[in-house]
Amino acid sequence: MLTGLMAVLLVGVAALLTRVENWRSYTPLAGGGAVTRDEGAVINREKPAGIIRWLTTVDHKDIGLLYGVYAVIALAVGGIMAMLIRIQLVVPGGAILGNNAYNSILTSHGITMLFLFGTPIIAAFANYFIPLLIGADDMAFPRINAIAFWILPPAALLIWAGFFLAPVTENMIEPARTAWTMYTPLSVEQQNPGVDLMLLGLHLSGIGATMGAVNFIATIFTERDNDVNWANLDIFSWTILTQSALILFAFPLLGSAIVMLLLDRNLQTTFFAVEGGGPLLWQHLFWFFGHPEVYILVLPPMGLVSLILPKFSGRKLFGFKFVVYSTLAIGVLSFGVWAHHMFSTGMDPRLRASFMAVSLAIAIPSAVKTFNWITTMWNGRLRLTTPMLFCIGFVSNFIIGGVTGVFLASIPVDMILHDTYYVVGHFHYIVMGAIGFAAFAGIYYWFPVFTGRMYQRTLGKAHFWLSMVGTNITFFAMLALGYLGMPRRYATYQFDGAIAPLTQVATFHQLATVGAVILFIGQLFFVWNIVQSWLEGPKVEDGDPWNLEQDGMLDREFQWFDEQLEAEEPEKDPSLLADGGQED
């Protein structure tokens, strides 16, 4: 019923917006003041130089770059935490960390990757390219766009605050040890101010995401060029629009639940106490946000792959309308599956069965996308560039992650595999194997637009193969650990031989650690390639660096890039060109 009401509401909002008169006439505030039109004339204004530019910019491209740098830093922090976790589990007794340190790193790793890397890296692409793809001058609300980003650095500092403050306060303030799901009563009973700081940081990141979502919806509805209608809107913009709608319904609920949890912790309310709402209330509220959050993270990467993969297949995306419809279907159904995380909590079997049915049904639109990607490549003129390799890797990993998820949607199977490493393997096939790979595909594909230079192609392909091999070794070993009964979130492990041979469990943990090391080395290749190429890579002199025009696949962002290259003539000083160049 809730899913149906949500669908009716979304349709009603869409119908209302289409009936608003003169909604195209809205004129946004100056998006950075770089280019202003005055009766056909173009006036270029210089941006401030140095750090002041980045602290005061409201230009969507600059903010996109800020989001990207922020997300890559968060990826590095979360990746180092993941390596510490894997090293710890090489031996059954734990290799390097105590229980408290392990639990702190485990908690921060999950929150960092989901909230500080996953959402911002999507915002990086969306901020930079959505206005270019739809022919807009800037975002609808440039200043709100800047505020939405600058909320994130304080949020990260609050989430990580316990690591910095523990040595200074003699462990009076420690990192949170609640796991990223923050289940009650554990998260209520931990008398540690670091948990409160982490919750406030999460709340801030949710506010920033919500502000960004409002901005994307307003931009796509009101700032499109006259020749961009709903029929020819690009697939990436469709996925960002759907993601933004999900954020509007999901993140405010998380914020409300966090406020309730803070009140329980500090003012002795009983929202999640046994004598009040009950510990299960937190799970319902959290997962009502948490499962749409998975699709908030994965829908835009699906859009990136749907945009990039056809470019190197030499043909348009097969079944474009079905990909759009499947995106909207996932958005609606995502609010009706949250309790499949709670099958083992003892809920009514009839209610549990309904959630199983919806959880199985949501696999159908995902499968539609997968078949469309494969059919797009079928008989196409494939060019195995680095972005294309990452797109193919995305499809491969997404199939494994999706199929293993269907098993967890089945109640009898989930009752056995719940809270084992099988769940960890499934989830990471999606988060790293799919979302991460799509992000890398986008970075390599648009690297010439970001920087005006080309990356080292050999290093890019080495990055792909190391990432692909490392991802599958690590997370397939985790699937096997789940079948052996290894519970997740444990700092040490000791098995009775009647459950599983301890040596076999240790072997799979060591195999997962070897894969994690390979994956980590691949990311070092990535960082070196990006930084070195940004500073010293060969300059791109052609507005079509991927030769897309020969297949009729050149999009608006590369047309804009070509205009910038034409404006940046050698005799001109590039530092005098606003927004990276003049606009004709």
Lowest-confidence region among 24-28, 84-88, 190-194, 252-256: 24-28
Does position 321 have pLDDT exceeding 70, yes or no? yes
pLDDT tens figures, 360-400: 999 999 999 999 999 999 988 999 999 999 999 999 999 99
| 546/567 Cα distance (integer angstroms) | 20
| 460/444 Cα distance (integer angstroms) | 8
E strands, 258-342, in order: none
For 388-448, give the DSSP string.
Answer: HHHHHHHHHHHHHHHHHHHHHHSHHHHHHHTTBHHHHHHHHHHIIIIIIHHHHHHHHHHHH
CA atoms within 13 A on the CB side of 538: 7
pLDDT average, residue stretch 152-166: 94
Lowest-confidence region among 39-53, 143-157, 261-275, 311-325: 39-53
Residue 572 pLDDT level (bands cut at 50, 70, 90):
very low
Lowest-confidence region among 284-293, 303-312, 491-500: 491-500
pLDDT average, residue stretch 298-325: 95
pLDDT tens figures, 162-210: 999 999 998 899 999 999 999 999 999 988 999 999 999 999 999 999 9
pLDDT average, residue stretch 35-52: 56
Cα radius of gyration rounded to whole Å, the chain = 24
Does position 280 have pLDDT exceeding 80, yes or no? yes
pLDDT tens figures, 390-446: 999 999 999 999 999 999 999 999 999 999 999 999 999 999 999 999 999 999 999
pLDDT of residue 325: 95
Bigger pLDDT: 346 vs 471: 471
In eight-state DSSP terms, residue 36 is E
Q: Are 302 and 239 in contact (CB under 8 A)?
A: yes
DSSP count for the chain of H helices, then E strands? 22, 2
pLDDT of residue 49: 73
Whether the model pTM is above 0.85: yes
